[in-house]
Amino acid sequence: MSISGWAKTAETWLMTHVPGADWLMLFGAAMVVLTGLALLIWLLRLVIRAVGSLANEGKARGARRRNAPGFRILISSPPKDRAAGKWLESALSQYLPIFSFGAPFSLVPMGTMKGGLESRAIVRARKRMATADADMFLWASRTGNGERGLELHGLSRGGGLTASEARLFTLALPGSRKVRTDDLARAVAYLVTKQLQPALSDPQAFRAEKIRLLANDLDSLLAGDPAISQALRAEIEADFCASGVRVAEELGDVSALDKVIVMRRKHLEAASEAADTGRVLQARLELGRALIVRAEKQFDQNVVREAITQLSQAVEGLRADPMILRAQSASDALFKAQSMIESRKRFSLNFGS
């Protein structure tokens, strides 16, 4: 008997001996259709993913071939919030030139990026960076509307690193769309620019005239009170204070000095015993230097005494710093070795080898 004959016989038997067989057959047919649809959707997703991956690979290769001067930044949107990606792209386009002192750059959109800080996502980002010869890769994770609802992840080659050495960083931003203001955009642009140019944290790395521009921009940024975490605000305040002190010392411009003194005093008052020792020492050094400049403009014995107190505590803290102690130990050993060489030379000259 043929297969079609067996199928017809089985169907006849089911309809005769099994109650509700007609509904059972309909259910089976529906399951076959649903399974086929699920398989089709799965295949479509695979195709879309493959096409997207090829498109991103093409964008990365195209960015490398263009060989445009300046920074090359790859940027991906969160999987379920393309609007956040557009906002981040707009923030960097508008404000990154301000904080990078007009350095040229190009933004290369790379679609969406899943995985957050999973190792496979980071590996994929490094590969795309290497393909595009990019200086930075940015992608984001959307987790809600809270203070850390939008986490901006990135890999930066700032400081001359290769793609495999690029530093991983994360900026925790608020997730609510209502707080995506112009001030928040400026804050994000500055924090990203710092990853591209780590020297922004060291005002001595730039001419004082440039640092004055940076101090003014950071002052305006902080006055806008962007919706960022206290940790990020403290980081920006520290950079503003360092810039303000440099400008006051070298250019005699004390317009930011009073704000620096107020900020550093508040920071030290709020610092707990478990606070970051490095930041506390930095705050003491900047407060002491700012007070000295203030006293030079208008002498006040109490101001000078406060400066002496802050600088003395900073010096004591530096002496106890493990890195300083190791450096001192290495310096002592080096001096001892050099002394031995000099002693041996004198001995050879006087008495022979």
Chain segment 84-135, per-residue pLDDT in tens = 888 999 999 999 999 988 888 888 888 788 878 888 888 888 988 888 888 8
For residues 244 and 319, membership in a common domain is answered with yes
| 237 has a pLDDT exceeding 80 | yes
Tell me the C-alpha distance between 31 and 142, whole Å.
36
Establish if 277 belongs to a structural domain.
Answer: yes
- Compute CA 265 distance to the chain's CA centroid, rounded to the nearest angstrom: 27
For residues 77 and 168, membership in a common domain is answered with yes
For residues 242 and 322, membership in a common domain is answered with yes
Domain with 89, as residue range(s), is 69-197
Q: Which of 167, 197, 227 is the last residue of a domain?
A: 197
Those residues with Cβ within 8 angstroms of residue 69's Cβ, 6 or more apart along the chain or in another chain:
104
Q: What strands, in cross-sheet order, belong to the sheet with 150-156? A: 105-112, 71-77, 136-142, 150-156, 167-173
For residues 317 and 247, membership in a common domain is answered with yes
Distances (CA, A) of 147 to 61, 135, 204, 232, 332: 36, 28, 33, 12, 49
Q: Rounded mean pLDDT of 69-87? A: 84
Structure tokens belonging to residue 142: 């959307």
For residues 135 and 76, membership in a common domain is answered with yes
What is the band of 62 on the pLDDT scale with cuts at 50, 70, 90?
low
Tell me the C-alpha distance between 80 and 328, whole Å.
53
Establish if 218 belongs to a structural domain.
Answer: yes
**Of 4-13, 91-100, 165-174, 222-231, which gets the smallest average pLDDT?**
4-13
Q: Rounded mean pLDDT of 220-247? A: 90
For residues 73 and 182, membership in a common domain is answered with yes
pLDDT digits (tens, 9 = 90+) for 133-166: 888 999 988 888 888 888 899 999 887 788 888 8
| 353 has a pLDDT exceeding 50 | no
| 337 has a pLDDT exceeding 80 | no
Establish if 15 belongs to a structural domain.
Answer: no
For residues 191 and 207, membership in a common domain is answered with no
Establish if 285 belongs to a structural domain.
Answer: yes
Q: What is the CATH number for 153?
A: 3.40.50
- Burial of residue 282 (number of CB atoms within 10 Å: 0-12, 13-18, 19+): middle
Tell me the C-alpha distance between 36 and 30, whole Å.
10
- Domain total in the chain: 2
Establish if 229 belongs to a structural domain.
Answer: yes
Establish if 352 belongs to a structural domain.
Answer: no
Q: Which of 197, 222, 243 is the last residue of a domain?
A: 197
What is the band of 255 on the pLDDT scale with cuts at 50, 70, 90?
confident
For residues 136 and 208, membership in a common domain is answered with no
Establish if 313 belongs to a structural domain.
Answer: yes
